[in-house]
Amino acid sequence: MSTSAQATNSQLRIVVVGNGMVGHHFVDQLIEHNTSVGADNSALHISVLSAEPRLAYDRVHLSEFFSGKSADELALTTPEYYQQHKIDYKLNAAVTHIDKVAKTVTTVQGEVLSYNKLILATGSYPFVPPIPGNDQPHCLVYRTIEDLEAISASSKVSKIGVVVGGGLLGLEAANALKEAGLETHVVEFAPQLMAVQVDGGGGRLLRSKIEALGVKVHTQKATQTIEAGDVCRYKMCFADGSFLETDMILFSAGIRPQDKLAREFDIAIGERGGIVVDNHCQTNIDDIYAIGECALWNNFIFGLVAPGYTMARVAAAHILGGDQTFLGADMSTKLKLMGVEVGSIGDAHAKTAGALCYTYENQASAVYKKMVVDSSKKKLIGAVLVGDTSDYDTLLQYALNGIDLPEHPEALILPASGGAKPGLGADALPATATICSCHNVSKGDIIAAFDGGACSLSDIKSCTKASSGCGGCSALLKSVCDAELSKRGVEVKKDICEHFAYSRQELFHLVKVGKLQTFDELLTKHGKGLGCEVCKPAAANILASVWNEFILKPDHVSLQDTNDTYLGNMQKDGTYSIIPRIAGGEITPDKLIVLGQVGKKYNLYTKITGGQRIDLFGARVDQLPEIWKILIDAGFETGHAYAKSLRTVKSCVGSTWCRYGVQDSVGQAIELENRYKGLRSPHKLKFAVSGCTRECAEAQSKDIGIIATENGWNLYVCGNGGMKPRHADLFATDLDTETLVKYIDRVLMFYVRTADRLQRTSVWMENLEGGLEYLKQVVIEDSLGLGAELESQMQVVVDAYQCEWKTAIENEESRKRFRQFVNSDKADTNIVFVEERQQIRPATPEEKASFTQQQQAKRIAVELV
């Protein structure tokens, strides 16, 4: 597919072979240059050759494909973006020939392209061990979206899956199989998981945490053959005489540089593979560069995306006349594998001569931390973190910048007792400190951006791209920005708005301690002015969280936003949706019939939601009370779909019906939904309960997720879908129902007390000092002595529950609000529907205009008669 005109003689012709993450980043660097010099008169003609049938996508988050993320959502670019910037791109265009003298490349389709500069960004390929039987059907690899589609197809006809390889990629692949619903095993040749990144102690803990999630781990296993199985499709026979039966085998035993082109056309290759490059990422052939996982620098292949991005920037700069150089890269990494936090920095195995180690292990909390320091105990040279990576950013800055350690270095990884934990403030970082490794943004770059006119954190993100890659630096970036703004005399406030000099958390405590029950009381005692669209809904939410009074009481109604005011979600045409509560997704045939009758009577668009409820769209505001009355008489309640509160508790059918279920997930879901259905919170809440580890209810993508085990319930917290998906963290295991409810009470009420306005539980957790471990201490260990108080406050909310629809229709004053016009009972004629797929939908502006013209014509005709 070609998208631009041929290059002119005056243009520098650049051909990029490969359009993975690094290849695309290189193109982005050239686009930025084109833009800076004027795209219409660009001196560059850029051609991109992708061997895959699609443009660049995010390989780092490939496993999210199995939790619902589409190929389009994983995409890093679009055809439109390349077309806009006059990038000539071709798909399914593997290169088969390089003519180094004529400076041309030939694609598999036979097309010949000439170049002045050739960039090899061919990446890597998955290593498949030479095991007899490894080429049979359902023996797959994990690298591309097409691989994922093959895995997905295989998983539909398989029950058990095995991943060969227990490294970083292997555990990512295991997560993919688990997400696909298979009983999952990991087979690793080494004595431990992730042997490159973590030490023995960290590996032991990592194994226990992975196994607690239902993945079976087999270490020190060398597969000899893959044969036909007796029970499953295949039998993996190991060197020690044991075997493992499986239906699918997924090889993820490491990568190899994709250097085939270089080998075939006499470009220098390292002894163990990889295209040899210098500090400018140039090969031994003039005008040919190599970047990313195919490139070998100083006899080293860099298998992370951040070093590849750095290579892309260096190569682009060199081609454009710059003087940047590639001098290696930090291979430290922080990641989350199946909800398990893992961090590795520098010399994690303490191989440096004279290295000393500080180790902290808490088996009860499943946390392992190790610091490696030099012989003087002044410099940090490595670290391993498993189960809690909250100290990662601080330790990384000590290591990267050679900052002297505090007098007692061990305090950096030990839990804080009493006073504050020794941290590393933004002021202690040198200007050279790298804040964002994905885009190579230093503290000095951020200061320069402020000098150049940036005035806020969002400005910094926009002009430097910091935190727009993996996002792991977001907390550190904010800290640096806040410190720099303070130095410049800019007050960094947490005030909720100009009317209250308090954060949401502080307002919550003022309401609770002061027993304030109205906004007027709060404003009189602690605020000024009349309030605004920010503080009024926030105060309404806080008052509801503490006292749970009817939100349409005269004291509260003026604070609510439109949706809360009318107890329904307003749609684009001014109508409202109606979503009754269907606890746990369980519904009787009689109730289904009532919903059908209501939809038919009022001609409502009807849809089943993702949260196991039924949504009725298109009701006029004056129709809401009469529809609610019908539903309430049939036993329904409001589903609170309009509120910042509990929306749904999704469930699978559990042990009652499913042959895999080990607990009654539906019954548990109904109990939990009925308990928490009246809780107002800083943002919406979603729960799910799965009856076994096959996870059909998708509990690990919810604010509160519960998964049944043989011994009780595993509790997950602070996950979410949406714009920025986040897996929930495993919080506690094998809980009885009483303990489960106690922990949920405490987590939710602590969130309600301490979260910022409109803050999801996932963001709250990420911003909570001490993160998951701190939350466990507060909830499980009751470290703040708040446990009983949090439970008591939750019980107040539970006891005060009322169906807001029912209260509204029984109150004559409230019913008066549900009229389209104050002085008329007529309906709104601006609401126009058209029929599509045998249901209604809102008319488009063009359809409305046509309808209005027809109505006018009819009126004139009537008047003439």
pLDDT value at residue 65: 79
Instruction: Tell whether residue 696 is among the known ligand binding residues.
Output: yes
**Interval 705-757: pLDDT, tens:** 999 999 999 999 999 877 667 889 999 999 999 999 999 999 999 999 999 88
Work out the average pLDDT over 152-175: 91
> Three-class SS of residue 255?
strand
> Is 692 known as a binding-site position?
yes
Q: What CATH number is given for 645-802 in this structure?
A: 3.30.413.10
Consult the annotation and say whether 357 binds a ligand.
no
Q: How confident is the model at residue 418 (pLDDT cuts 50, 70, 90)?
A: very low
| Angstrom distance (rounded) from CA 327 to CA 588 | 67
Residue 406 DSSP class: P
Share of the chain above pLDDT 90, in %: 55
Question: 12-125+257-319 has which fold?
Answer: FAD/NAD(P)-binding domain (3.50.50)
Q: What is the 3-state secondary structure (H, E, C) of 420-470?
A: CCCCCCHHHCCCCCEEECCCCEEHHHHHHHHHCCCCCHHHHHHHHCCCCCC
CA–CA distance, 633 with 850 (Å, rounded to integer): 40
| pLDDT exceeds 80 at position 802 | yes
819 vs 536, higher pLDDT:
536
Q: Rounded to whole angstroms, how far apart are CA atoms 605 and 94? A: 48
Class of the CATH-defined domain 331-415: alpha beta
pLDDT higher at 304 or 540: 540
Yes or no: say if 413 and 376 are a contact pair by the CB < 8 Å rule: no
pLDDT at 102 over 70: yes
Cα–Cα distance list, 529 to 523, 525, 604, 673 (Å): 8, 12, 43, 39
Confirm or reject CATH 1.10.10.1100 for domain 425-492, answering yes or no: yes
Q: What is the pLDDT of residues 585-641, one digit of tens each?
A: 889 999 999 999 999 999 998 988 888 899 998 888 889 999 999 999 999 999 999
Which residues, at least 6 apart from 536, have a Cβ–Cβ distance to it below 8 Å? Answer: 519, 558, 559
CA 68 from centre of chain: 12
Q: What is the pLDDT of residues 514-565, one digit of tens each?
A: 899 999 999 999 999 888 888 999 999 999 999 999 989 988 988 888 888 8
Q: Under 8 Å CB-to-CB from 820, ≥6 apart: which residues?
A: 620, 621, 622, 826, 827, 828
What pLDDT does residue 793 have?
92
* Candidate from 34-43, 383-392, 639-648, 753-762 with smallest mean pLDDT: 34-43
What is the Cα 519 distance to its own chain's centre? 36
The kind and range of the H/E element at 390 are none
Residues 128-253, CATH architecture: 3-Layer(bba) Sandwich (3.50)
Please say whether the beta carbons of 23 and 57 come within 8 A. no
Q: List strands edge to edge, sheet with 248-251.
A: 139-141, 248-251, 160-164, 183-188, 216-219
**Helices 443-451 + 457-464 axis angle, to 10:** 110
Half-sphere exposure (CA, 13 Å, Cβ side) for 534? 12
d(CA 230, CA 393): 50
- 3.20.20, 3.30.460, 2.60.40, 3.30.70: which CATH number matches 548-638+804-821? 3.30.70
- How far apart are the C-alpha atoms of 805 and 598, rounded to whole Å? 16
Cα separation, 174 vs 159, in Å, equals 14
Helices (H), 45-93: 71-74, 79-84
Are 128-253 and 548-638+804-821 equal in CATH topology? no
Top-confidence residue, 69 or 358: 358
Provide the mean pLDDT of the chain.
Answer: 88
Cross-strand partners of 282:
289
The residues with which 361 forms a beta bridge, in sequence order, are 368
* Phi and psi at residue 272, to the nearest 5°: -110, 20
Q: Is the CB of residue 74 less than 8 Å from the CB of residue 65?
A: yes
Copy the structure tokens of residue 626: 């009469």
Look up tokens 């090899």; give the residue: 120
Average pLDDT, integer, range 397-420: 79
- Please answer whether residues 387 and 367 qualify as being in contact, where contact means their C-beta atoms are separated by less than 8 angstroms: yes
Q: Which two tokens stand for residue 175?
A: 């997560």
Indicate the SS3 state at residue 247. coil
d(CA 151, CA 138): 8
| Domain edges within the chain | 12-125+257-319, 128-253, 331-415, 425-492, 495-533, 548-638+804-821, 645-802, 833-864
CB-hemisphere CA count at 13 Å for 630? 18
Residue by residue, what is the 3-state secondary structure of 182-210? CEEEEEECCCCCCCCCCCHHHHHHHHHHH
Residue 2 has pLDDT above 60, yes or no: no
Query: Under a CB-based contact definition with an 8 Å cutoff, are residues 328 and 297 in contact?
Result: yes
